[in-house]
Structures are given as C-alpha cells and as structure tokens.
Amino acid sequence: MSQGTMTVTSLNTKIKSLLETTFMHILVEGEVSSVTYHNSGHVYFSIKDKESSIKCVMFRSNASRMKFQLERGQHVVVNGSISVYTPRGEYQLLTVNVEPFGQGALALAYEQLKEKLQAKGYFELDRKKTQPKYIKKIALVTASKSAALQDMLKIIDKRWRLLEVVVIDTLVQGDKSAPQIAEALAYADGLGCDAIVVGRGGGSKEDLWAFNEEVVADTIYKLNTFVVSAVGHEVDVQISDFVADLRAPTPSAAMEMILPDQDEILYTLSEMENRYTRTMGQILANKEQSVKALTQEFQRQSVSRKIAMVEREFENLEDEFKRVMNYTISQYEAKVTPLPLQFKENMEYALQVKAQTLNSLEQKMKLYDPKLKQKEGWAEVIFDGKRVDLSKIKKDDSFTLTDTNVKLEVKCINKEKI
C-alpha cells in the first residue's frame, strides 16, 4: 500500500468519528417527505428542504413518547445526532424528539386525535345516552385524595344525600394515568351504576393530557352506563368531553348538573302534600254528599218490593218461554209427521218417470238400429269420411257404399237426376 493511502473502512471510520462528535444534539428543520412506522416500534422517516433531504430514525424508546403521528408534508423540527453506518458509508439523523414547527406537539396530537375520532363517529349526538332522571348509584372515577373528589362529595352531601357513591381511585396525570383511567371506567361500567363521572381538577395542558388519550376515548365510547366528563375548568376542553354523554365544566358542576336539589324536592313534596290534602278533602266532602243522597233514595225505595217485582218478571218470562217453546214444537211436529208418506210418493213418481224414459230410449234404439233398418238394395253412402246423400256425389268422385254385411269402394262414372 502506497504512503498516504487508506482503506474504505478506515475512511468511513474517520468520517463516523468526525460526524458523530461534531453533530451531537442538533436541531434540524425540514418537511417530512416519507414516514414508516415499523412493527418493532421504530419510526423511519426523511425530512427535506428545497434542495436536499436526510434520512432519520427514531427508536422505539423515543417513539413511544411521541404525542402525535408523523405525516408526510408536516413541517417539523428534529432533535438528534448524526449517526454513520460504517459498512455502507451512510449517515442518518438519530432522532431523540420531533416537534411541529411553530406548533406544540400536544396541540397537534389533540387535533389529530380529534379528527380521527370524529371521522369514526365518536362525537355523534344520536349515539349519546339519555341522562337518568333520578340517580340512585353513582361511580366517581378520579384520584381518591384529590380536591376534585372532595368538592364532588360536598355537593352530593348538599344536594342529594340518598345517593350511593362508589369512588374508584385512579391516577389522573402522568404517562401511566391514561391506561389506569380506562381500566377504572371499564370496572365502573360493571357495577350497575346509573351514572359515571370521570375527571379531575384544573392543571396545565400536560397535567390534563391523560383525558386526551385514545385509550380513554375508546373506553368511554364503549361504556353502557351514562358517563359525564368533568375535567379541569370551563376553558379546558378535552377529547373525553366530546366522547362522553355529557360534558361538565368542573367536577362540582357535574354534580349540580345531574343530581336533583333535595331542598327543591322537599319543597315540591310539601306543595304536593298540600294539594293532595286539599284535593282529598274536596273528594271526601263530595262523597259524603253522595252517600247522603243515596241513603235518602234507598229509604224511599223498598228492597223487598223490588225483589218481588223481579220475581214476577222471572215468572212472566218463564211462562212466555214455555208458550213459545210449545208452539215451536207443535209447528215442527206438523212438518215432520207427513214426511215418510211424502217421501214414498216422491220415490214412486220418480221411478215411474225413469221407467217411461227408459222405454222411450228403447224405442229410439230400435228405430235407429242399422240392422233393423236394413232393406233389400239399401246401402249407406260415405264420402270424405262422412255419411252423405247421393245428391251430394259428383261425377268422378270416389266414395264408399256399405250395408250391414258389405263395403264397396266405387267411383261415379255418370250422374243423372230421376
């Protein structure tokens, strides 16, 4: 090897050392030109500007912390270091984090998930369940030591003490909070409650982010129980608010929105009791007057006399019934008595008519029997398959002559009238 010559591997190794030590923890701005989410959890993508592009890779540990999905055409800022693959002499940007250019990652992730769930029909009004009129049992899904829970319990104690409350403790912020919230909601759905309230008090966008996770939205969408989302303050609107059957601005407001006011109920019951007392008093007074009038009418009417009248009516009806039945029976007897004689006469007459008909048919049969009609020199003329008179035969016609014993095929040689 000549002096100053190096191998390819040596060159690539020097380039790797130079690039990786020079370009560490750099920020690169560009447009996402391609992106692939691998089954392993790694993300492979490229960013470009008007004149060039660079390949990037984000390994699973860093990709799992991404709040939004990379898409082609996004303008992003990539934080990472240059990494050189010596065997091929290729370099890429080993990515630690990606942020949308000019926009927070959480804001972009929020809009992406909102659009996705809206397209799936999660926000449709016709799928939301109707709020129960009277809630007997409620599940509160929140942190058991939170101020939000205490606020809700105070409102419950003030408004509706007859309520059975089940508190389901869960994390409400942090990386592990979203799966716990989803698990707690699914558990609450199997408790036979009339309503579920899920939420927490106010905080930063990062503190409230668990309620913007897809796993929480999916679980709320699948619940069979009426669910209220009560997260943060009035200005805080989460994905869970859109999917839930009812959105409350705060946890305390949720209790006021779904629970009746016991003071109002007591006042209403008092008013109903007063109306009931007045109405029943009036009804009783009217009934008392009716009883008095009926008593007087009863006294004017003799029960024994009415019974006697009814008995006479029954006797009259019995006599009339017997009379009608006797008359009807006699009518039927008059009709039934001559039936055998009449039947015999009809049969004799029918037999006589049939005998006359039979005799007439015998006479006709004898009259039309060819053998009886046979005379010497007589024959039947058959032309074209039909019996005809000789006058119908023309010269040169062929026809058949038959009597009772002989059949002749003949032809007319000459025809004269006689």
Give dist(CA 50, CA 36) in Å, integer.
Answer: 22
Looking at residue 65, its pLDDT comes to: 83
Looking at residue 404, its pLDDT comes to: 74
Statement: residue 234 has pLDDT above 60: yes
Statement: residue 58 has pLDDT above 90: yes
Statement: residue 198 has pLDDT above 80: yes
59-102 pLDDT, tens per residue? Answer: 998 888 888 888 888 888 888 899 998 888 889 999 988 888 76
Q: Which of 38-52, 58-72, 127-141, 360-374 has the lowest mean pLDDT?
A: 360-374
Statement: residue 169 has pLDDT above 80: yes
| Banded model confidence at residue 145, pLDDT cuts 50, 70, 90 | very high
Looking at residue 392, its pLDDT comes to: 82
pTM for the full model? 0.51
308-353 pLDDT, tens per residue? Answer: 777 888 888 888 888 888 888 877 776 665 666 677 778 888 888 8
Sheet holding 398-402, edge to edge: 386-387, 380-383, 398-402, 407-411
CB of 365 closer than 8 Å to CB of 359? no
Statement: residue 368 has pLDDT above 70: no
Q: How many CB atoms lie within 10 A of CB 40?
A: 9
* Residue 205 burial by Cβ neighbours in a 10 Å radius (0-12, 13-18, 19+): middle
CATH of domain 131-260: 3.40.50.2300
Mean pLDDT of 102-130: 85
Statement: residue 1 has pLDDT above 60: no
CATH entry 2.40.50.140 includes domain 8-103: yes
Listed by start position, the domains of the chain span 8-103, 131-260, 369-418
| Banded model confidence at residue 196, pLDDT cuts 50, 70, 90 | very high
Which range scores top for mean pLDDT: 107-116, 229-238, 247-256, 304-313?
247-256
Statement: residue 411 has pLDDT above 90: no
Looking at residue 127, its pLDDT comes to: 92
**Number of residues that this document lists for the chain:** 418
Looking at residue 412, its pLDDT comes to: 87
